[in-house]
Structure 1
Amino acid sequence: MNMKPEVNAARLLASVADFAAIGATPAGGVNRQALGVEDRVARRLLAERALARGFSVFQDEIANLFIRREGRDASLPPLLIGSHLDSQPNGGRFDGALGTLSAFEALEALADAGVETDHAVEVVAFTNEEGSRYAPGCMGSMAFAGAGALAEWQSIHATDGPVLAEELATTLAALPEAKMRPIGHAISAFVELHIEQGPILEREDVPIGVVTAVQGTKWLEVTFSGKAAHAGTTPLEFRKDPMSAAVAAIASLQSAIMPTDPDARLTVGRIAAEPGSINVIPNSVTFTVDIRHPDAATLAVIERHVRDECEAASARWDCELAIKQRVDMPPGRFAQSIVEAIENSCERLGLKSRRMVSGAFHDALFVNRVAPTAMIFVPCRDGISHNEAEFVADHHMISGARVLLDVVERLGANSKAFRSTSL
């Protein structure tokens, strides 16, 4: 038997529903945080389905889960596809899971059709992409690509208390059927399907986004320190008011960065005042700044602008200033060859596509450091994600899975075809 592989739409949609039941929330989302009980249940279900199909199951020391369908030539590095299974505390049922389950559907479709590939094809569910229970996010893919070390994270406490090392050991022990392998192994390429988490595809009525890059991200923590004083008795000329400094800096940045550059992103997501009393001028105000841009040089210019504006506000309000950098993640530009392979699949399937840059970071950003990589986006309703209201229409899920399967068939079918699309 050697037929044309086809996505089994009913099977894929049922699979998405089955996994959405693991950690389901009353409002229709999921709470399946990394290395928790629900995460372990999802990993087991995926592993059991893989073993039932005769696929091999592996895990590494950081609990990245791999499902392997062998190829004709064991000497060739495998083609890797997949995403993650963990969610935000009140996340949606599609973020991460759709990419992992679409990848597994591709593996099943190849097996159903009896299609042999030269390269083995592996599905991966990376550990802790979200970073909601343990920070930083993308631990599994960072470790896989050598961008972070497990030893540095072992003592980190979860938001609900447990140390990472303990939950990791429990998670690994809960799946003894999975053979252990070292962290990181050679792969021929990586393709990740994901929901867009933005409104562009839906607004333009385009079913497939071909992701060419991931924006670079910098997180800064800004603290203005002034002098606490009575709100009613302290005239303006006697105030060293860090709140006024913070408000001035934030207002200036909000009006200067994004309005002048459509590719730029600037977000103040958290702000705290001390002592936090209604009738006391704060002693200090701390806020976070998330800046993003697909161009590294421009991102550096934006960071300099943030620092300059904060220094000016500090001087104006006679406050001390401290800025700490919490995250510095350079942009990732995906392999042109894999981008073109995805576009070619869209053309073969008669699906409209557009190139786009991802504003969120994904596991693909890190895997891109060690192998040719690109991403497939599908639309989500109103661009809503990290929210229980997150929704992807059935036909968009099926279209994304069909494109992924076609890409996998082309890249994995024979080594010559892959080499013709490699970097």
Structure 2
Amino acid sequence: MNTSIQAAHLPAISIDGDRLWQSLMELARIGATPKGGNCRLALTALDGEGRDLVVGWMKDAGLDVRVDQLGNIFGRRAGRDPARAAVITGSHIDTQPTGGKFDGCYGVMAGLEIMRTLNEHGVQTEAPLELAIWTNEEGSRFLPVMMGSGVFTGRFTLEAALDARDTAGLSVHDELKAIGYAGAEPVGGRPVDAYFEAHIEQGPVLEFENRVVGAVTGSLGVRWYDVTVTGMEMHAGPTPMPVRKDALQAAAEVVLGVIRIANANAPYGRGTVGVLNVYPASRNVVPGRVDFTVDLRHIDASTLDAMDGRLRESCEDVAVRLGVQIELRLAQYNKPTPFDPALVELVRQGAARRGLPVMDIVTGAGHDAVNMAMVYPTAMVFVPCKDGVSHNETEDALPAHLEAGCNVLLDAMLARAGVTFCPRSSTDPRDQHVPAQP
């Protein structure tokens, strides 16, 4: 497929940015929080309400909507050649407990807006197009994270996912039934030609570099650990410092080591301790046990392996020096994942065609696109978010940036799917493209 030639001969159409924004704001009313964000945890009644709203819009756009056994939703727009595999776009609509209005939701609404726009302009594609809504991307209520796309791509089994339980003991299986999204379609096996996902960056790079579009070249690899430090509880007053087996002191040294490891592997090194629990949590007792998490990331697999080795060395050194036991358990590993170069190039071409400042960028966050990229050609379109803030109720993005990213997604999907028929020429000034760059 000569994607460069196709990209240069796309129809002069653009999405309706106002309608995209209005759809995002209407969805955001479901599970709205006092600070302007969203709490719409996976498979809760609010998630069901959000799904109902978006599925209704998908059907209004003429999409053939199917739901699989894990609640993943697919809306299909037929192509001229039904034998061809689909070009898919999508994301998720579940949120963090204190989430924003755009994380995930933008990718779903962008895909829906593209379908609406193609209908309005009478555009027929050669390959079918599909819009996907993935179940439990955030992992706020159920583990593993990115569950729906993970089962779709074979990373996790359907049985394990359906049996996953939240802190109240409720299972994915039962909660899918409760909200009416325990579908009959098998998970996976759908023919996929390519997968695109639009998303806010969730970081500060695009805003800092004054770029409107990020062509995402791949994802950082991630190693998640659970760590337990075991010392001895002792009275804080009578026990001299040299004879203590202070689990928190040991944990603090390991935590600082995590930060040093990340800084030593800049610019792509990341090191985070996001959870720390101290036992017995009494002000006059030397802590006897500390449980905490470690998150290490890097774009290069061998460097990430070296960071893992350095963390293990640090734990061994601290344990010996302070007379404690440190257990380091690997909880999850996602290898660094490159995206498809041909699809990334279509994103770059779409931005150039629209006259938008673009830069290559890597994603440090997990996305359903990362799972999809392990099996299918995949690319992502990033747009800036205010101050790089995400997973926060104050998460924000400019309507003009969201519109721009959606137009780039439109061009990339049409270039990949092929345009068979476009009967009308638009006079809408939004539809006047900047010519493709030579």
> Is TM > 0.5 for Structure 1 vs Structure 2?
yes
Question: Are 1:236 and 2:241 counterparts?
Answer: yes
Q: Is the 8 A contact 1:4 1:113 kept in 2?
A: no
Other structure's SS at 2:248 match: helix
The aligned residue for residue 420 of structure 1 is: none
Q: Mean alpha-carbon deviation: is it higher for 2-11 or for 393-402?
A: 2-11
Q: Is the 8 A contact 1:25 1:31 kept in 2?
A: yes
What is the letter of the counterpart of residue 149 of structure 1? T
The aligned residue for residue 404 of structure 1 is: 409
Query: Cα deviation per residue 1:173-230 (whole Å; 9 max; x = unaligned)?
Result: 58xxxx7421111200000000000011111110001110111111111222112111
Question: Are 1:208 and 2:213 counterparts?
Answer: yes
Query: Structure 1 191/228 Cα, relative in aligned 2: closer, same or farther at 3 Å?
Result: same
1:91 to 85, 99, 103: 99
The aligned residue for residue 353 of structure 1 is: 358
Other structure's SS at 1:48 match: helix
The aligned residue for residue 381 of structure 2 is: 376
What is the letter of the counterpart of residue 173 of structure 2? A
Aligned residues: 410
Question: Are 1:181 and 2:185 counterparts?
Answer: yes
Other structure's SS at 2:53 match: helix
Q: Is the 8 A contact 1:245 1:317 kept in 2?
A: yes
| Whole-angstrom CA distance in 2 between matches of 1:54 and 1:180 | 21
The aligned residue for residue 71 of structure 1 is: 79
Please report how far the alpha carbon of residue 160 of structure 1 lies from its aligned counterpart in structure 2 after TM superposition: 4.7
Q: Is the 8 A contact 2:89 2:130 kept in 1?
A: yes
What is the letter of the counterpart of residue 144 of structure 2? P
Query: Structure 1 304/129 Cα, relative in aligned 2: closer, same or farther at 3 Å?
Result: same
Query: Cα deviation per residue 1:35-78 (whole Å; 9 max; x = unaligned)?
Result: 11111111111111222222210110000011110000111010
The aligned residue for residue 419 of structure 1 is: none
Q: Mean alpha-carbon deviation: is it higher for 325-334 or for 192-201?
A: 325-334
Query: Structure 1 279/39 Cα, relative in aligned 2: closer, same or farther at 3 Å?
Result: same
Please report how far the alpha carbon of residue 256 of structure 1 lies from its aligned counterpart in structure 2 after TM superposition: 4.0
Q: CA RMSD in A?
A: 1.6
Other structure's SS at 1:188 match: strand
Q: Is the 8 A contact 1:29 1:92 kept in 2?
A: yes
Please report how far the alpha carbon of residue 304 of structure 1 lies from its aligned counterpart in structure 2 after TM superposition: 0.7
Instruction: Could you tell me which runs of 5 or more consecutive residues in structure 1 were left unpaired when the two chains were aligned.
Output: 416-423
Question: Are 1:328 and 2:333 counterparts?
Answer: yes
Query: Structure 1 212/162 Cα, relative in aligned 2: closer, same or farther at 3 Å?
Result: same
1:268 to 257, 262, 273: 273
Question: Are 1:191 and 2:196 counterparts?
Answer: yes
Q: Is the 8 A contact 1:245 1:316 kept in 2?
A: no
| Whole-angstrom CA distance in 2 between matches of 1:336 and 1:145 | 20
| Whole-angstrom CA distance in 1 between matches of 2:416 and 2:11 | 17
What is the letter of the counterpart of residue 309 of structure 1? S
The aligned residue for residue 116 of structure 2 is: 108
Q: Mean alpha-carbon deviation: is it higher for 68-77 or for 241-250?
A: 241-250
Q: Is the 8 A contact 1:223 1:287 kept in 2?
A: yes
The aligned residue for residue 421 of structure 1 is: none
Q: Mean alpha-carbon deviation: is it higher for 163-172 or for 399-408?
A: 163-172
Please report how far the alpha carbon of residue 170 of structure 1 lies from its aligned counterpart in structure 2 after TM superposition: 2.4
If the length of structure 1 is used for normalisation, what is the TM-score?
0.94
Pairwise mapping of residues 111-190 of structure 1 onto structure 2 (< 5 A)?
111-173=119-181, 180-184=184-188, 185-190=190-195
Q: Where does structure 1 differ by over 6 angstroms across 4 or more consecutive aligned residues?
A: none
The aligned residue for residue 306 of structure 1 is: 311
Q: Is the 8 A contact 1:220 1:326 kept in 2?
A: yes
| Whole-angstrom CA distance in 1 between matches of 2:11 and 2:384 | 30
What is the letter of the counterpart of residue 133 of structure 1? R
Please report how far the alpha carbon of residue 11 of structure 1 lies from its aligned counterpart in structure 2 after TM superposition: 1.2
Query: Cα deviation per residue 1:109-146 (whole Å; 9 max; x = unaligned)?
Result: 11111111111000001111000011111010001111
* Fraction of identical pairs, as percent: 38
Please report how far the alpha carbon of residue 167 of structure 1 lies from its aligned counterpart in structure 2 after TM superposition: 0.5
Other structure's SS at 1:153 match: helix
| Whole-angstrom CA distance in 1 between matches of 2:130 and 2:287 | 54
If the length of structure 2 is used for normalisation, what is the TM-score?
0.91
Please report how far the alpha carbon of residue 3 of structure 1 lies from its aligned counterpart in structure 2 after TM superposition: 6.4
Query: Structure 1 317/54 Cα, relative in aligned 2: closer, same or farther at 3 Å?
Result: same
Please report how far the alpha carbon of residue 93 of structure 1 lies from its aligned counterpart in structure 2 after TM superposition: 0.3
